[in-house]
Amino acid sequence: MWPLARRGGGRRLLLFGLLGRGVPGYAWWTLLAGGLAWLAALALVRAGDRGVATGIAIVTAGGWSIAAAIVAVRWATSGDWPLW
């Protein structure tokens, strides 16, 4: 029913992140991609496919964690908040 949701969620999150130029763009695109993934996961839960929705949530959490770590490292090294 949802063939695109079942394959390559992590790749899509990475591809969205690569649209950004630099750390701020990477972080914002990753947040956007994760938000869209969560909307897809909610639709899947509603359709009854909870296993795939769980996988999407896990991959999204991993992607957001990586983006948060990159932002934290940039903030620690430069002393300037990189997202504004």
38 part of a folded domain: yes
57 part of a folded domain: yes
Does 11 have pLDDT greater than 90? no
77 part of a folded domain: yes
18 part of a folded domain: no
57-78: pLDDT as tens digits: 898 999 899 999 999 999 999 9
Which domain, by its residues, includes 63?
31-84
4 part of a folded domain: no
Q: Is the pTM here over 0.85, yes or no?
A: no
DSSP letters of 38-83? Answer: HHHHHHHHHHT-HHHHHHHHHHHHHHHHHHHHHHHHHHHHHSS-TT
Total number of domains constituting the chain: 1
2 part of a folded domain: no
19-59: pLDDT as tens digits: 878 899 889 988 988 999 999 999 999 998 899 899 888 98
